[in-house]
Amino acid sequence: MIQIAVLGYGTVGSGVVEVINTNHESINKKAGEKINIKYVLDLREFPGDPVEDVLVHDYETIINDPEVQIIVEVMGGVEPAYTFTKRALEAGKCVCTSNKELVARHGLELLEIAREKDINYLFEASCGGGIPIIRPLNSSLTADEIDEISGILNGTTNYILTKMAEENADFEDVLKEAQEKGYAERNPEADVEGYDACRKIAILSSLAFGCHVDYEDIYTEGITKITVEDVKYAKGIGMSIKLLATSKREDGKFYAMVSPVLVGQDSPLYSVNGVFNAIFIHGNVLGDAMFYGSGAGKLPTASAVVGDVVDCAKHLHRNIMMSWSSKRLELMDIKDVEHPFFVRIKGSMTGDIGSVEDVFGKVKTVGVPDVAGEFGFVTAPMSEAAFEEKAAKLPDIITRIRVRA
């Protein structure tokens, strides 16, 4: 029998307990031994909940119990999760987590401790919720040189952008609705400003490229400035706006960024709507592949965590190697990254297109019948720096959105 402890009995923690109890027969068979939840750590009481029988309030009970071989950290945040995780690994206990904030900030250090102790620190649920992506990157795709990872990595923002497009609704109205339905946090900053997606693409990039990508080095822009007018223009040119997290290798150089992007119908990411997530990968041998599914939620995330528990059970005293080295990956200056831009500008298409093309060269114009006093255009691919230089010459520009080429 393999004894485990669950740190945190919130949404994901209760999901982990539910998944193990519901599917215990198949889980035990796949693990090769019975997996038993010996402890659940939480500061709160849960009267009437079966978890009462295993509930503890002091981490020392868990860390000092030699029978506990696997710890599931689903507390969220950096502290005390970091301290608890580090102590567990140093004590020779495997750790599984869904905590992307912790993995993005301290994952490299914690992986190195696990490697030294010949145990495992696994985090499948940290990037795509229930979507399997860490394990494929670490095993199935190891024969490939990964050139690109682009993903819709946050269900909250994808839900908001989808509803804005479907209902021609304002950002603030849809955000309020998302909060009422439980799709958005009361403080949605980490989601809508792109920070959540930034941490996830940092983790995926570190694994895909084998070097450490610091999330603080990644250019990040959220969706708070996207308007209903932007959405109408997107529809007018047969595209949709997505919050994309991208890391890419171009001519031996790497860049990573998170921002709203116009995606065309020829992209598999175009039709990823609602709270669903998707991760697109391009390898030099594989070509294109996409992983799609529920990127968040109690049971999908818990399913991925329990999958890691099973993996740990099968490799209790054998480290599963991950290609995340301490060598820092130098990222291109975002000013040198090239793509087309969609631009909205005050004026009339007939009267002002000449001044636009004097600055940007030949562009594709876009008009929306019920948006007056302005028009839109799409530029040829150019660097961020070149765009900013040109845009400065046209003071009537309202906004710009990058276009996925």
- 142 versus 164: which is more confidently predicted? 164
Residue 174 resides in a domain: yes
d(CA 70, CA 120): 9
How many beta carbons lie within 10 A of that of residue 297, not counting itself? 18
**Is the domain of 350 the same as that of 234?**
no
Does 80 sit behind a cis peptide bond, omega within 30 degrees of 0 on the bond before it? yes
Please check whether residue 219 is in contact with residue 202, taking contact to mean a CB–CB distance below 8 angstroms.
no
**E-strand stretches of 199-325:** 219-220, 239-250, 253-264, 276-283, 287-294
Asked whether residue 330 is assigned to any structural domain, the reply reads no
Q: Is 235 a catalytic residue?
A: no
Q: Are 341 and 393 found together in one domain?
A: yes
pLDDT of residue 73: 98
Going along 8-47, which residue ranges are E strands? 35-41
Could you give the number of structural domains in the chain? 3
User: Is pLDDT of 166 > 80?
Assistant: yes
SS3 180: helix
For the chain, the farthest-separated pair of C-alpha atoms sits apart, in whole angstroms, at 78
The rounded distance, in Å, linking the Cα atoms of 282 and 302 is 28
Radius of gyration of the chain (CA): 23
- CATH code for the domain of 378: 3.30.70.1150
**Angle, vertex CA 126, rays to CA 124 and CA 129, nearest 5:** 80
Contacts of 317 (CB under 8 A, 6+ apart): 118, 119
If asked whether residues 98 and 241 sit together in one domain, one would say: no
Q: Which pLDDT belongs to residue 294?
A: 82
User: Is residue 296 very low, low, confident or very high in pLDDT (cuts 50, 70, 90)?
Assistant: confident
Judge if 124 and 229 occupy the same domain. Answer: no
Has residue 320 been placed in a domain?
no
Say if residue 60 is exposed, middle or buried (CB neighbours under 10 Å; 0-12, 13-18, 19+). exposed
Token pair of 11 as six digits: 């949404």
The answer to whether the pTM exceeds 0.85 is yes
As to burial, measured by CB atoms within 10 angstroms (0-12 exposed, 13-18 middle, 19+ buried), residue 224 is middle
24-31 and 298-314 are packed helices; what angle lies between their axes, rounded to 10 degrees?
A: 30
What backbone phi and psi angles, to 5 degrees, belong to 111? -65, -40
Q: Per-residue pLDDT tens for 263-279?
A: 999 999 999 999 899 99
Q: What is the mean pLDDT of residues 322-339?
A: 93
Kindly give the interhelix angle for 11-22 and 298-314, rounded to the nearest 10 degrees. 60
Q: Is residue 362 part of a domain?
A: yes
Of 279, 314, 349, the residue at which a domain comes to its end is 314
125 in the same domain as 64: yes
Are the beta carbons of 335 and 384 closer than 8 angstroms?
Answer: yes
Q: Where are the beta strands (DSSP E) in 49-103?
A: 55-56, 68-73, 94-97
Look at residue 286 and tell me whether its pLDDT is greater than 80.
yes
Exactly one of 93, 163, 200, 390 is catalytic; name it: 200
Beta bridge partners of 382: 339
pLDDT higher than 90, residue 180: no
**322 within a domain of the structure (yes/no):** no
pLDDT reading at 83 higher than 90? yes
Sheet holding 68-73, edge to edge: 55-56, 35-41, 2-7, 68-73, 94-97, 121-122
The distance from CA 400 to its chain's CA centroid, rounded to whole angstroms, is 24
Range of the domain at 53: 2-129+298-314
pLDDT at position 370? 86
Q: Model confidence at 206, in pLDDT bands (50, 70, 90)? A: very high
- Give me the mean pLDDT over the 216-234 stretch: 96
Answer yes or no: do 350 and 215 share one domain.
Answer: no
Whether 295 has a pLDDT exceeding 80, the answer reads no
